[in-house]
Structure 1
Amino acid sequence: MLKFDQVLHAHLSGLKEAVTVWSETVSKLEKTKEKAETGLQGKADKADWKGENAGVTQAFVRKTAKEFGDALTEASSIRNILRDAESEFTAAKTELEKLVAEAPGKGIRIDQDGVVSYLIHPDRRAKDYDGPKPEQADFEAMRSAIKAAVDRANNADDVASRALRGLVGSDKMNFSGTSYDSLKAASKAQDAEDAHAAYELYKKGDEATPEEIDKLNALFKANQKDPYFAEKFALEVGPKGSMEYWADMGDPSDGSRLGVDHRDKLKELQTNWSLTLATATHSTSPEMEQWKADVIKAGSEPIQTRGTSPYGFQVMSNLMRVGDYDDKFLKDYGNGLVVTERKMTHDGALPANRAWHQITGGPSHLNWMGGDLGNDPMIGFMEGLGHNPKASTDFFNSSIDLTPENTKDDKKLDPFDYFTKDRDWPEELNDKGDRTKEPGYNALGHALESATTGHPYDADPEGLKDVRTKENAEVMQKVVERYGDDPKYMHQQPGIDDSLGKMGAAYIDEFNRSLEQENATSMQEMPDSPFGARPDAKGEPRFGAEFENSLLFNRGDAVNFLSTVAQSETGHAQLSAAQTIYTTSVMDEVAPKPGSGPARELDLTDAKTTLRIGAETHSIFDQSRMGQIDQQYEIDSEEHKKAVGRTTEWVKFGVGAAAAGGVAVLTGGAGGVLVPLAAETVGGAVTTLIGMEADDIAEKYSEDEILKKKSDDLKDEALDKGRNNALMPGQAYARTPGWSRDDANYLEEELTKYVKDSRGHVRDDSLPDPYNEKKDGKVR
């Protein structure tokens, strides 16, 4: 694997010389081949040899003459490979040289390992510095360009080295005769070779040895994002081939030990197989278009193994849990899946679990990635949507024609309503051996995360941006209405609360705009609001012109949704951390800049409004969570005290937060919670906040000490610490470099006093009652 410095400082003169030498060799062999064919072989063909000479010598002469032709073919191929590799290396090296030369002019430094940083760090710039001031987007663009150049060189190196080894071959007595007219042709030939090798291993099914499964995994990983390999493999195996193979792997009755002794290998294989098919679906060749149609057609058909008979949809859905599938294919697949389920349940008269009972045999083990066995095909499909934001957004904003074969009726289904309200998700067997609906609702949450945020739910936090669109916001409006309407939807859907918390965090800016309203039903933004809508990258209203001055949610719906989600321990933590960092970012944007004048003479109106809304929002979160704890656990019980003690742990979610490019990603236990900031540029208050420490009851007391306290006393203390933590944005602003000590002291005292006075004022909103469901006299 070539590194940045190796590509940048590569000496290509030897490679250029080799191209020249091989070109000369090709010219000489062309002449030699001609002489061999017209002279040596021509005379042998005309000779009237008889006896042993006719059977041996003549054949030998012909074979010898042919070797000159093979030598020419091999030499031409070597020349072509070296020529194109030298061209690719030169292009990559030239691009890196260009980037290194241009970097200082952009205020960027590139070190010997290709690491990008400030040429002069902002903290070390002179007061009169007027040079370039690169933003996060500039650094990201530079890193991306460097990676592309290094990848180009590595790809050429990999293909060329493999091609040259293949050309030389293992037969020392004969030339290979393999012909490559370009590096690209060699790459395609290698892909086809690998695809066929994978196919040969596929044919072994569950009779393959663990070592053969390793080889199959290696072939998939080596060609993971290669469209030619993916298409070749998908077509060679066939639409039903993948289903039959995976169903066979999940048949527990045929004696295979792979699923018993090598679950980790099957988990890896499921991931790699899914990624390969995902890549293949992006092909628009006639053969792949037919493949996609045939996959959907086979979804309603049983896939028979020796002891099981899962439906095609059940099998295929488990092969789309990871990977970037084609958006149209995913939507078409989902429509076909829903239509099939509705037919099998007689339009919902039967529960969904009745649809997917296998016709014969026992249940299949179709999912090796954990969480469930894979019998409900909606789970894998939702995971697929969770990794494909555009498809997920389109799906939840569309309607499904339940009778596509009948053009005269208009029988439609709203997929958002169906999956969030109407469908009774089946219980699945989880990794602990318990039957639970959590796997299904967890997957539904993932799909809704991608549909509302525009990012895969498990996207790498590094480099994330605010990419929300009008279409994403339309799904979020539905989410807020559904889950804010009645707490039962969240509480009766185990596993969805963390996703709702992430969605709430991703729209915390819009919720703040709503919470500033006096009127619970008004959809008009407050005049001169410090929470004004932030435009998209093109300077246009992010959610369309209609929402430039109007709201996505009214205050009443915002309060209902946020307070419902905050009843959950995870939701409370995610929303609290998001609110704190967002409030701080607004302070950076609208409050007087540090050092802009004597603090006592500055207009702090916007700053106080920002902190007031932040404090009131935290109060909503804390009251909702405390109310839920009181309902869920008996007062003074061990569970009650521990739950109260954990309510201030949300401060850990901000630990390790990465803030840049208009967003913050909370990674300190939050699993990549994306929070929009008030501006593209990260201000000093946000930077200060990330480095601050906050009060946490769980760290203050040992577990034994917590259990000795009265629940009411502990709750009062937790609420007090919650209030203190809500002061952090004001404190971070006051402690930002640039203020004098006197100004900082005045601001911290003035702003924190204001927040303390306003925190208890929640505008008389009636928060939703904490949800609980009593069964057998016990609170659940």
Structure 2
Amino acid sequence: MLKFDQVLHAHLGSLKEAVTGWSEAVSKLEKSKEKAESGLQGKADKADWKGENAGVTQAFVRKTAKEFGDALTEATSIRNILRDAESEFQAAKSELEKLVAEAPGKGMRIDQQGTVSHLIRPDSRSKDYDGPKPEVADFEAMSAAIKAAIDRANNADDVASRALRGLVGADKNNFSGTKYDSLAAASKAQDAEDAHAAYELYKKGDEATPAEIDKLNALFKNNQKDPYFAEKFALEVGPKGSMEYWADMGDPSDGSRLGVDHRDKLKELQTNWSMTLATATHSTSPEMEQWKADVIKAGSEPIQTRGTSPYGFQVMSNLMRAGEYDDKFLKNYGNALVVTERKMTHDGRLPADRAWQQMGGMPSHLNWQGGDLGKDPMIGFMEGLGHNPKASTDFFNSSIDVTPENTKDNKKLDPFDYFTKDRGWPEELNDKGDRTKEPGYNALGHALESATTGHPYDAEAEGLKDVRTKENAEVMQKVVERYGSESKFMHEQPGIDDSLGKMGAAYIDELNRSLETNSDSTMEEQERSPFGANDAKGKSRFGEEFDTGLLWNRGDAINFMGIVSQSESGHSTLSAAESLYTTSVLEQVGPKPGTDFQDRDLTDARTTLRIGSEAQGIMDGSRMAQIDMDYEKDSEEHKKAVAKSTEWVKFGVGAVAAGGVVALTGGAGGVLVPLAAETVGGAVTTFIGMEADDLAEKYEKDEMLKKNSDELKEKALTDGKENSLRPGIAYATAPGWTYDQRNILNEDLVDRIRTGRLHAQDNNLPDPYEKKV
């Protein structure tokens, strides 16, 4: 792979000379070909040879004459490949030279590794500095342009090197005669060649050797995001071909050892196959449009193997667990899937698992990713939505006509209500051999994450941005209404609590805006609130009605935060998000380090810490109440749960802050936390860098687990209050304050935190969930 400095400093003179040399060779070969065809072959064709000469010599002369033509074709192809490669390399090199030259004028510099940084760091600028002040978006745009140029050079290098090896290395005794008019043509030819090679391996089914499965995986990986390869493969295999292949792989009755001895290879194959088909669905060619329609049509039909007969929807949904499928295809597929399930369950009168019982034979093993065997097709579909935020948002904001064949009855189904409340999610057999509903609700959580945040649920933490829209917020309003209404919805949906925590973290700004109001029912924000997603002009990203209006009232915010915090993961995620967001607001609305301030200048800072502390009190109180409900008092489980309730402080370690968000690392994807400003400063940086103790381990070392539960709870709540101080401490100790200013801030802001903590006790927190016996 070419690096930044290699592309920037590439010497292309030799390549230009090679293009010139091969162009001259082409001219000479054109003349030689003409002579061979008109002279050598022409005379041989006219000669009246008989006997051995006619059978051997004449054929030899014709073959020799043809070689001149093949030599010309090969030389022309080599010249074309080198010419286009040189053009691509030069374009990439020129783009990098241009970016490097423009960077200082934009206040940036680019080092030899291609890393972009400030030309003059903000903390090193003089007071009268009036030069460019690049923002996060400027750095991101510059880095993206650099990457695009390097990718362009690498792509040209990969295609050209493979094409040249193929041209000159196939047969040492004969010219290949392969014709490439351009580098793009060579790239397409390589894709078609790889697609056919994959098809030949596909035809072996589960009789393929482990080495052949490795080859198939390699072909998929090497062409993972190549649209031409993906389409060629999808069309060659056919609409039902993928289903039949995957159903055969999941048939335990035919003696194949792949699923017994090589589960890891099948897991990789499932991912690669899914991503390939996902890429193919973005094509709008007539052939692919028909392919997509035929896949949906086959969903309600059994796919018969030797010993199993899963439905097409069951098979195809398990090939949706990776990759970003096309928006329209996902919507059409999901609608058809729901319509089919409602028909098979007689409009919900039968449980959902009855719909997907195979008509005979052994149960199929359709999912090798872990968690479940792939029986319920809604799980894979939800994972597909989880990787396509636009499709997921549209799906949960839409309605489904469950009787499309009847244009008069107008019978509609609300997908959000159906999947979060009405549908009885079937139990699945997990990796431990237990029957549980967790896989289904875990996948539902992933789909809701993408629908509310605008990012794939497992998006990398690096590079995340706040992209929430009005449509995302509409789904989040439904989430808060549903899961904040009764604790049973979260607790009776195992596996969804961590997703609810992430969704709450992504809307922590709006939750704070609701908490600030004085009434539990008002839908108008507190005047001049420091919270929320408003821009500098007081305009909301969610539409004009939310410039001063709330997404939900204070009572709903308390209930949602309280119920989500009843779970260990929900409490940890929301607590970390609250502290990070509070710190960023302090940094934005409080006096700036190094400036003089009066008492009145701390008004917004006091409000910020008071609400942040109240929020932490709500969450801590809810978690403690649930622990009391879940475990017997003074039991070891009770004490350990209490000890763990303070561990959320470790979330800040390794957090990535940029572009108006902090992405908390850990688990699948990053936890998105909106900040109050695009550029973070000293307070947020100080907060993230604060050392986090492993308090649960500390308890054990200090033998605190030997104490009774009441003492431990008192200690944990005290620690929770101390943790509420972290934003204020980070703000007061950020670089720039004098010693006296730090003391003033510490004394004043700590008092606000105590007030907020006391205020939290006045709230009517949601009741803890009591399991039914």
Please give the per-residue CA displacement for 1:158-211, whole angstroms capped at 9, x wherever unaligned. Answer: 111111111113322211111110000011001000000000000000000000
2:749 match: secondary structure: helix
State the AA in 1 paired with 2:511.
F
Residues 234 and 277, structure 1, Cα contact 8 Å, conserved in 2: yes
Residues 460 and 669, structure 2, Cα contact 8 Å, conserved in 1: no
Structure 1 position 636 matched with structure 2 position 634: yes
2:133 match: secondary structure: coil
Equivalences for residues 683-762 of structure 1 within 5 A:
683-693=681-691, 697-702=695-700, 705-762=703-760
Structure 1 position 397 matched with structure 2 position 414: no
1:747 match: secondary structure: helix
Give the total of aligned pairs: 773
Instruction: Report the Cα distance in structure 2 between the residues aligned to 1:344 and 1:532, rounded to whole angstroms.
Output: 45
**For residue 545 of structure 2, what is the aligned residue in structure 1?**
546
Instruction: Report the Cα distance in structure 2 between the residues aligned to 1:36 and 1:186, rounded to whole angstroms.
Output: 28
Equivalences for residues 222-371 of structure 1 within 5 A:
222-371=222-371
* Residue in structure 1 matching 2:659, options 661, 673, 693: 661
State the AA in 2 paired with 1:564.
I
1:239 match: secondary structure: coil
Displacement, 1:699? 4.2
Residues 699 and 705, structure 2, Cα contact 8 Å, conserved in 1: no
Residues 652 and 689, structure 2, Cα contact 8 Å, conserved in 1: no
Instruction: Report the Cα distance in structure 1 between the residues aligned to 2:193 and 2:368, rounded to whole angstroms.
Output: 28
Instruction: Report the Cα distance in structure 1 between the residues aligned to 2:242 and 2:565, rounded to whole angstroms.
Output: 43
Residues 655 and 668, structure 1, Cα contact 8 Å, conserved in 2: no
My pick for the range that moved more, 426-435 or 31-40, is 31-40
Residues 243 and 312, structure 1, Cα contact 8 Å, conserved in 2: yes
Q: Please, which runs of 5 or more residues in structure 1 have no aligned partner?
A: 776-780
Residues 4 and 113, structure 1, Cα contact 8 Å, conserved in 2: yes
2:519 match: secondary structure: coil
**For residue 778 of structure 1, what is the aligned residue in structure 2?**
none
State the AA in 1 paired with 2:229.
F
Displacement, 1:120? 2.4
State the AA in 2 paired with 1:238.
G
Please give the per-residue CA displacement for 1:138-176, whole angstroms capped at 9, x wherever unaligned. Answer: 222121111111111111111111111111133222111
Displacement, 1:72? 0.8
Instruction: Report the Cα distance in structure 2 between the residues aligned to 1:135 and 1:183, rounded to whole angstroms.
Output: 38
1:571 match: secondary structure: helix
State the AA in 2 paired with 1:46.
K
**For residue 63 of structure 1, what is the aligned residue in structure 2?**
63
**For residue 373 of structure 1, what is the aligned residue in structure 2?**
373
Displacement, 1:703? 5.8
Displacement, 1:53? 2.2
Instruction: Report the Cα distance in structure 1 between the residues aligned to 2:334 and 2:637, rounded to whole angstroms.
Output: 42
Residues 589 and 678, structure 1, Cα contact 8 Å, conserved in 2: yes
Residues 638 and 709, structure 2, Cα contact 8 Å, conserved in 1: yes
1:175 match: secondary structure: coil
**For residue 438 of structure 2, what is the aligned residue in structure 1?**
438
State the AA in 1 paired with 2:739.
R
TM-score w.r.t. the length of structure 1 is 0.97
**For residue 649 of structure 1, what is the aligned residue in structure 2?**
647
Instruction: Report the Cα distance in structure 1 between the residues aligned to 2:318 and 2:119, rounded to whole angstroms.
Output: 48
**For residue 496 of structure 2, what is the aligned residue in structure 1?**
496
**Identical counterparts, % of pairs:** 81
Please give the per-residue CA displacement for 1:459-502, whole angstroms capped at 9, x wherever unaligned. Answer: 01111000000000000000000000100000000000000000
State the AA in 1 paired with 2:328.
K
Equivalences for residues 611-626 of structure 1 within 5 A:
611-626=609-624
Please provide the CA RMSD for this pair. Answer: 1.5
Equivalences for residues 24-35 of structure 1 within 5 A:
24-35=24-35
1:403 match: secondary structure: coil
Residues 534 and 679, structure 1, Cα contact 8 Å, conserved in 2: no
Displacement, 1:132? 2.3
Displacement, 1:704? 7.3
Equivalences for residues 181-196 of structure 1 within 5 A:
181-196=181-196
Instruction: Report the Cα distance in structure 2 between the residues aligned to 1:164 and 1:355, rounded to whole angstroms.
Output: 55
Displacement, 1:47? 2.0
2:691 match: secondary structure: coil
Instruction: Report the Cα distance in structure 2 between the residues aligned to 1:754 and 1:398, rounded to whole angstroms.
Output: 44
2:109 match: secondary structure: strand
**For residue 564 of structure 2, what is the aligned residue in structure 1?**
565
My pick for the range that moved more, 517-526 or 102-111, is 102-111
State the AA in 2 paired with 1:307.
G
Structure 1 position 422 matched with structure 2 position 422: yes
**For residue 766 of structure 2, what is the aligned residue in structure 1?**
768
Residues 23 and 79, structure 2, Cα contact 8 Å, conserved in 1: yes
Structure 1 position 527 matched with structure 2 position 538: no
State the AA in 2 paired with 1:212.
E
**For residue 385 of structure 1, what is the aligned residue in structure 2?**
385
Displacement, 1:380? 0.4
2:398 match: secondary structure: coil
State the AA in 2 paired with 1:709.
K
Displacement, 1:758? 2.9
Displacement, 1:398? 0.4
Displacement, 1:107? 2.1
Residues 302 and 312, structure 1, Cα contact 8 Å, conserved in 2: yes
Displacement, 1:287? 0.4
State the AA in 2 paired with 1:617.
A
1:757 match: secondary structure: helix
Instruction: Report the Cα distance in structure 2 between the residues aligned to 1:266 and 1:694, rounded to whole angstroms.
Output: 40
Instruction: Report the Cα distance in structure 2 between the residues aligned to 1:535 and 1:325, rounded to whole angstroms.
Output: 33
**For residue 574 of structure 1, what is the aligned residue in structure 2?**
573
State the AA in 2 paired with 1:191.
D
Residues 5 and 113, structure 1, Cα contact 8 Å, conserved in 2: yes
Please give the per-residue CA displacement for 1:74-98, whole angstroms capped at 9, x wherever unaligned. Answer: 1111111110011001111111111
Q: Please, which runs of 5 or more residues in structure 2 have no aligned partner?
A: none
In structure 2, relative to structure 1, the CA distance for the partners of 1:721 and 1:271 (3 Å cut) is: same
**For residue 487 of structure 1, what is the aligned residue in structure 2?**
487
Instruction: Report the Cα distance in structure 1 between the residues aligned to 2:527 and 2:13, rounded to whole angstroms.
Output: 67
Residues 510 and 552, structure 1, Cα contact 8 Å, conserved in 2: yes
Residues 538 and 547, structure 2, Cα contact 8 Å, conserved in 1: no
Displacement, 1:539? 9.2
State the AA in 2 paired with 1:416.
F
Instruction: Report the Cα distance in structure 2 between the residues aligned to 1:55 and 1:458, rounded to whole angstroms.
Output: 68
Residues 696 and 721, structure 1, Cα contact 8 Å, conserved in 2: no
**For residue 40 of structure 2, what is the aligned residue in structure 1?**
40
Residues 695 and 721, structure 1, Cα contact 8 Å, conserved in 2: no
Please give the per-residue CA displacement for 1:676-727, whole angstroms capped at 9, x wherever unaligned. Answer: 0011111221111112235664243226713211101110111111011111
TM-score w.r.t. the length of structure 2 is 0.98
2:657 match: secondary structure: strand
Instruction: Report the Cα distance in structure 2 between the residues aligned to 1:367 and 1:670, rounded to whole angstroms.
Output: 19
